[in-house]
Amino acid sequence: MGLGGCIILIAVGAILTFATDWEMEGVNLDLVGIILMIVGLIGTTTFSSIARRRRVVVPPTTPVINDETHHHHRRDGYSDGYGV
């Protein structure tokens, strides 16, 4: 169940608890609504913590230049201006 499903559970639970006055024999709809809201909240926090762990910041990579194909060798054997 994703984040959307958790939000729907919270919404349905709130509707059952606060916006209805249905009476069902043997079922307390207020309690069912509260349970749905709690399950939705637990799911939302679990989903967000998992999503936060999955977000790994990868530093931008620099292109690797192959030394053999891109260096212009000087006659003295040094490839750069610093003699290294």
6-53 pLDDT, tens digit per residue, is 999 999 999 999 998 888 899 999 999 999 999 999 999 999 888 888
pLDDT at residue number 78: 58
pLDDT at residue number 45: 93
Model confidence, pTM: 0.59
CA 14, distance to chain mean position in Å, is: 25
pLDDT at residue number 72: 55
Q: How far is Cα 67 from Cα 73, in angstroms, rounded to an integer?
A: 10
